Amino acid sequence: MIRHLAPLGLAAALAATPALAFDITSMTEGEKAAFGDAVRDYLVENPEVIVEAINVLETRQAEAQAQADFDLVAQHADAIFDDGFSWEGGNPDGDITLVEFLDYRCGYCRRAHPEVAELLAEDGNIRVIIKEFPILGEASMISSRFAIATKHVAGDDAYAQVHDILMEFSGEPTDVALRRIAEGLGLEADPILEAMDSEAVTAEIAETRALAQALQISGTPTFVLEDELLRGFVPADQMAVMVADKRG
């Protein structure tokens, strides 16, 4: 651990003192050793300098990541907000757009589901877009294929119903289980099950996966709130504050 912190601590010590009046590279080996001992003694006596330096580094890294995310959203805005196939809900004319990349088998996505619903219920001026991003195995892929196939065959309202059910479904997405879901909603199961492996469904998943890769998204849920990437679960109350900030 000391081996990793020493360079950071040295930088912190140098930053905390006036500019050096000598060139460190011109020091003799004895001078370098003496200087190293002095720095070590300083850090031992003032260990809070290391913590301070780490905090500054982490803040700078977070700021750099946030700016990089803003740039990524701007670069891929058309694919994020207007891909022509992702399901849209909430208020289609809302002044704020919230996009969610999700996986039906993701525990945090399931936690986020009622939070997003609460946000939409309390704020009637938000447009929401769902991006199917199955990354947690075969069950995730089957669930997403079923949801997308339902949208293609039976329309947006049917997709919304299936989406809500899959977010709470704890069993395995077998043909029998999916058939029961479809029939329970009054839908014809056969056309939906047949469409699950269609080129159109496959292409939609592939396009969303490519977008996620371009945005450097590796986990779910991930949200895009207007121009900002939110990587991970966000409670409704916190998201409401962010929405208010976006409105100014």
Residue 4 pLDDT greater than 70, yes or no:
no
pLDDT given at position 21: 56
Mean pLDDT of the chain: 89
CA-nearest of 144, 135, 149 to 188 is 149
Summarize pLDDT for 31-85 with one digit per residue, the tens.
Answer: 778 888 888 888 888 878 777 778 777 777 776 776 788 899 999 999 999 999 9
The whole-number pLDDT of residue 50 equals 78
Q: How far is CA 238 from CA 122, 126, 148, 228, in A?
A: 13, 15, 30, 14
Give residue-wise pLDDT tens across range 107-117.
999 999 999 99
Task: Go through the domains of the chain in sequence order and give each one's CATH number.
Answer: 2-75 (no CATH), 77-247 (3.40.30.10)
For residue 99, list its beta bridge partners.
129, 224
